[in-house]
């Protein structure tokens, strides 16, 4: 998901010719959707349906958004080729991250809440950096190979970005499988933490 913002910005700049301001405005819909969900609706969804049931459709939306970005053409335009991706990712990220934090914190005792929160945030940053490095390497390698074989630069770059988005979507789906098979509902995790230590998971995340 972190790689999408980097690779997506490169696609907008190097293929579609956007400048810095236009790239920022292009990502604005995703930011607005994430902000509105995080401030007003994510907590309600988690409280009503549970963090695990909220996380899973959010991850599906992220995977679909990344998969859709693999269809962005060399001569693409914003509304049909980029805006739907931004909206899907905005909704997916906006509901997934609060739900994931809730699940991560649900099994922590009061004494370990700070440590657990720090580990979650650190893991997210390290994972994001590692994932970006892998996706950028794959994209660059594919683009360089296509350029060496005589493909136009913009076409080669677009193909490299498509590969990065496709791999990113695959990684999200792998994460979805892990979530389906290993994550416990937060109520069960909180119960295993002990009745005296358990606190509402969303409150811990806040």
Q: At what angle do helices 83-106 and 42-49 cross, to 10 degrees?
A: 50
- From CA 173, how far away is CA 171, in angstroms rounded? 5
**Number of structural domains in the chain:** 1
Predicted confidence at residue 117, as pLDDT, reads 86
Query: Which residue matches tokens 């700049």?
Result: 13
Q: What is the DSSP string of 79-118?
A: HHHTHHHHHHHHHHHHHHHHHHHHHHHHT--TTTHHHHHH
Segments forming the whole domain that contains residue 98? 2-205
pTM assigned to the model: 0.86
Structure tokens of 183?
A: 């994550």
Tens digits of pLDDT across the chain (206 residues): 788 899 999 999 999 999 999 999 999 999 999 999 988 899 999 999 999 999 999 999 999 999 999 999 999 999 999 999 999 999 999 999 889 888 888 878 888 888 888 898 899 899 999 999 999 999 999 999 999 999 999 999 999 999 999 999 999 999 999 999 988 766 665 566 555 444 444 444 44
3-state secondary structure of 66: helix
Check: CB of residue 149 under 8 Å from CB of residue 47.
no
Give the CATH number of the domain where residue 119 resides: 1.20.1250.20
- From CA 31, how far away is CA 197, in angstroms rounded? 35
């Amino acid at each position: 998901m972190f790689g999408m913002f980097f690779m997506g910005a490169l696609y907008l700049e190097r293929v579609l010719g956007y400048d810095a301001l236009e790239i920022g405005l292009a990502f604005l819909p995703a930011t607005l959707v994430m902000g509105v969900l995080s401030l007003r609706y994510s907590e309600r969804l988690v409280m009503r349906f549970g963090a695990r049931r909220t996380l899973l459709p959010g991850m599906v939306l992220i995977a679909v958004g990344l998969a859709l970005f693999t269809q962005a053409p060399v001569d693409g335009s914003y509304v049909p080729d980029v805006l739907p991706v931004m909206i899907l990712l905005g909704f997916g990220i906006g509901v997934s991250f609060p739900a994931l934090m809730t699940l991560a914190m649900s099994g922590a005792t009061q004494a370990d809440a700070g440590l657990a929160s720090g580990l979650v945030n650190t893991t997210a940053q390290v994972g994001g950096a590692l994932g970006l490095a892998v996706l950028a390497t794959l994209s660059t390698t594919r683009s360089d190979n296509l350029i060496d074989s005589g493909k136009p630069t913009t076409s080669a770059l677009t193909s490299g970005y498509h590969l990065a988005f496709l791999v990113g979507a695959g990684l999200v789906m792998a994460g979805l499988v892990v979530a389906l098979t290993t994550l416990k509902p937060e109520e069960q995790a909180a119960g295993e933490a002990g009745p005296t230590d358990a606190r509402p998971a969303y409150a811990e995340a806040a």
